[in-house]
Amino acid sequence: MAREAEPSRILIFGGTGYIGKHIARASVAFGHPTCIYARPPSPQTRPSNLDLWREFRSTGIRIIERFVPSDFGCEEDKIMPLPPFEEVLEKKRKIRRATEAAGIPFTFVATNCLAAYFINVLLHPHSPHDEIVVYGDGEAKAVLNYEEDVGKYTIKVANDPRACNRVVSYRPKPNIISQHQLISLWEEKTGRSFKRVYVPEKDLVKLSQTLPPPENIPVSILHSVFVKGDLMSYEIDDDDLEVSTMYPEMQLTTIDQLLDIFLTDPPEPARAAFG
């Protein structure tokens, strides 16, 4: 009988960060020896983060106390946003080109929007209010993926030979949604009606030009994702890799299901900026 391959070792940069903790938990759940780089605790570290460190150590995760910035998000080779966001993506492109030129085996993942994060940004479900801001005309489609799913899918593709030297997109059809569709779904679930306050595209463009860095980056991201619809501006061909079709056996959390979670056990708003 052939021996099963031993689980590969996983190293995660930013493993205690907003999305890193989900990837770390998924790695352990799939049985991988896991090591993370993380910012050392300080007197300003929140108690919840200290609890996370204790949780990770109890599950056998090795923690190396060193701060290394990490990132996630869009397919930077396929979009051209406003200059502040474009500068961020250009730095990522340089890392990608250097990795390719060095012949280092890679898998780049385009996770798109982190759903719980952006539901908090767009709907503010934790605070009482009667208005919801709509960026642009509210019709552009975006892709919102639940953070726990992103963690699980990322560990799966990290160990999948099909993903070697490829880009993998996270674009499951149930999670493609416009601002208007998201707000209407939330109204249906809460039984409330919200006044929609529109921020025109020209206002976001002007803010991207007048706000100082790094404050001009978030408005540029909002413009790219929710006004231009950059995440859905290109086609995924049959030869491209998309996680929900690669792993149809995995249970996916849809936007509809995630809003149900927000009704019963809402995820805490993140402090991390998305710029």
Which residue is listed with tokens 């489609």? 141
Concatenated DSSP letters for 77-109? TS----HHHHHHHHHHHHHHHHHHHTT---EEE
Active-site residues, by number, are: 92
Q: What share of the chain is helix, strand, coil (3-state, %, to 5)?
A: 45, 15, 40
Is residue 246 within 8 Å of residue 157, measured between CB atoms? yes
Q: CA–CA separation, 217 vs 66, rounded Å?
A: 26
C-alpha to C-alpha distances, 212 to 58, 88, 165, 204, 205, nearest whole angstrom? 43, 15, 37, 14, 13
Is residue 35 within 8 Å of residue 9, measured between CB atoms? yes
